[in-house]
A and B are shown apart, each in its own frame.
Chain A
Amino acid sequence: GAGVSQTPSNKVTEKGKYVELRCDPISGHTALYWYRQSLGQGPEFLIYFQGTGAADDSGLPNDRFFAVRPEGSVSTLKIQRTERGDSAVYLCASSLTMGEGPFTDTQYFGPGTRLTVL
């Protein structure tokens, strides 16, 4: 079975531009998470979805960041007016469900999208 996939794998943009990062979770996984990983650091939580709704968006750094999951499967992370400080690897993870047990709640990560803002 396919794992979590993310596209593009690399994205280079200019300061001030808009970018969209896509995540395809494992089929059947209802929970989807976005994290951001800066060089030499652990991943930092951004937002997670249970189904179509954002269950917790407390990690989004400011209103330039927005994420959607309109049909409860694929998710898109959108960044407006990109800044050089947004450069990082953006990781997506999915889990079978949320809050029901360690077997079903294991978060499986995709390979990430490396975003570079020039």
Chain B
Amino acid sequence: QQQVKQSPQSLIVQKGGISIINCAYENTAFDYFPWYQQFPGKGPALLIAIRPDVSEKKEGRFTISFNKSAKQFSLHIMDSQPGDSATYFCAASKLGGKLIFGQGTELSVKP
């Protein structure tokens, strides 16, 4: 019940395209859903996060879509750029608690 499942494992997108990464969770007590971006040799950095009281949150080129009834949420990266090439992790938690991370998606944006 603590798992967060993330797909796809890897993703190749052309520059300017849309990158979509999906996650599903099981524990209905989770109330905080962040996405982290990680570059090789670096720690994860928060990209964007959402609470379950809204269905969508947008920050610049990054959008989270949240479906509470399906227990799914996704990250959309619009106008993907080569600099977006990184590993992306979804996570879930009770606010302030331990983060349960997905397995990660390695995104490659081709010029």
For the complex, is A21 an interface residue (Cβ under 8 Å from B)?
A: no
Contact present for B95 and A102 (CB under 8 Å): yes
Query: Which residues on the B side are within 8 Å of A40 (C-beta)?
Result: 104
Chain A, interface residues (CB within 8 Å), range: 20 to 34
- How many angstroms from the CA of A115 to the CA of B43 in the assembled complex? 15
- How many angstroms from the CA of A45 to the CA of B4 in the assembled complex? 13
Q: Which B-chain residue is minimally distant from A31 (CB atoms)?
A: B96
Contact present for A45 and B46 (CB under 8 Å): no
- How many angstroms from the CA of A108 to the CA of B44 in the assembled complex? 8
Q: Which A-chain residue is minimally distant from B33 (CB atoms)?
A: A102
Closest chain-A Cβ to B43's Cβ sits at a distance in Å of 3
- How many angstroms from the CA of A106 to the CA of B94 in the assembled complex? 12
Instruction: Decide yes or no: A56 and B43 within 8 Å by CB, A102-B49, A106-B49 being known contacts.
Output: no
Closest chain-A Cβ to B101's Cβ sits at a distance in Å of 3
Contact present for B46 and A106 (CB under 8 Å): yes
